[in-house]
Amino acid sequence: MGIVLYWLGINLYLLVLRIAALFHPKAKLFVKGRKGLLPQIKYALINERRPRIWMHCASLGEFEQGRPVLEQLRKDYPQFAFVLTFFSPSGYEVRKNYEGADYVFYLPTDSARNARLFLEYVQPKLCLFVKYDFWYYFLSAIGNRDIPLLLVSAIFRDNQGFFKWYGQLQRRMLFAFTHIFVQNSASQRLLQKIGYDSVTVSGDTRFDRVIEALDQPVKDLPKIRAFCNQHKILVAGSTWPDDERLLHKAFAQLPENWKLILVPHEVHEAHIYDLEKLWGDVAGKWSDETDWANKRVVIIDTVGLLLQLYRCGDIAWIGGGFGKAGVHNVLEPAVYGMPCLYGPVYHQFLEAIALVACGGGFEIESPEQLVNCIRYWETEPDAYTNASKAAAQYVKENAGATQKITSYLVAKNCISMV
């Protein structure tokens, strides 16, 4: 019965997507990206003679969690070809030219036929799924072929279907995995409660990813250097309108020695126009040819600069903390020793909770709170230093998940070249 409902659910979902594709850009990309996909995969790999490792990610966030593992495996096993798949257009469209993989595809929609043909064409020696995105037919087909299948950076909660009376099908999918690497002990205990014991608490691979950024060459940004020019800098990353309105009200109350680098989550033309209208003459725009070094705010209207920009700041504001999805990545600024401020919607993210607990993160609900926080640190520099050190130390202490995963692969001889 569970399989029938699953099959019906998948097909209903696909029908809805096809209808949505008529007017929704992401749905259109999803549908278009899967037209002729299996033949495309077949012919892309038809002359590939190297053994293959396959990693699957739901979207861009999961890719960033899997990326440290993928890149370490590429160093350790250069004789392999690496295949990377995405479920979501937001992952595939951004990373379709990612140089760390030899082949990047959409994942075909889940069916017995698609799973069988995909594995026939890819012929992976090892399969890695990142965090979640469980597909019954794919997992079953991998198990039928006795291919080692790992789940990395997983996290589980007791309200998920895996742990409910009705979750038999979900549990079957979990038991398809050869081994599961979880982020915390609570997830391990939940798995053990349902009889799944092949589990390791490895932590979150994103810590390894952001620590790698410390060793990357600093990109010279002359315009930003001129803008900062010995001012105090607040870098606001991945912001949404609620964040931006709060920052606008707060900055009106801050002394002139503070400047803002504003990096919105959405950089489409309409939103950038709204930001220019909100900030008025005090703001410049990254893409402007005119000099904005003397402006108080710079709006970053392009993507790909946020990690570099965090290096330039004294304090970080991380957006998303007023929306349903919650706060964005707090580790990226924390690794640079920046006190991290964000809105109240963060309790579904362990790292955001832990940063608050260790003194490196701070919940802010109003412009007045933000102003008071910054003024306090200006008058109590030791408190600022302690918050900065706490943020950096938290990231450092939680690194190492990638090493645990790759060590397991070696110890268990999971990767075969036969």
The residues annotated with a catalytic role in the active site are 62
Residue 228 amino acid letter: C
Token digits of residue 149: 């299948």
Residue 115 amino acid letter: A
Give the CA angle between residues 54, 21, 136 to the nearest 5°: 35
Q: How far apart are CA 392 and CA 30, in angstroms?
A: 38
> Quick one: which of 79, 122, 84 has its CA closest to 103?
84
Q: How far apart are CA 360 and CA 101, in angstroms?
A: 35
Element (H, E) at 361: strand 361-363
Token digits of residue 235: 């870098």
Q: Give Cα separations from 125 to 55, 71, 152, 413 (angstroms).
A: 11, 17, 17, 11
Token digits of residue 168: 């038999």
Q: How far apart are CA 256 and CA 253, in angstroms?
A: 9
The conformation of residue 305, written as its DSSP 8-state character, comes to: -
Q: How far apart are CA 287 and CA 60, in angstroms?
A: 25
Q: Estimate the crossing angle of helix 367-379 against helix 241-251, to 10 degrees.
A: 50
At residue 418, the 3 state secondary structure works out as: coil
Token digits of residue 232: 């105090």
Classify burial at 356, counting beta carbons within 10 Å of its beta carbon; exposed 0-12, middle 13-18, buried 19 or more: middle
At residue 233, the 3 state secondary structure works out as: strand
Q: How far apart are CA 394 and CA 406, in angstroms?
A: 23
Q: Evaluate whether 198 touches 192 at the Cβ level (below 8 Å).
A: no
Q: Evaluate whether 264 touches 239 at the Cβ level (below 8 Å).
A: yes
Token digits of residue 282: 């005090």
Token digits of residue 143: 């198990």
Classify burial at 322, counting beta carbons within 10 Å of its beta carbon; exposed 0-12, middle 13-18, buried 19 or more: buried
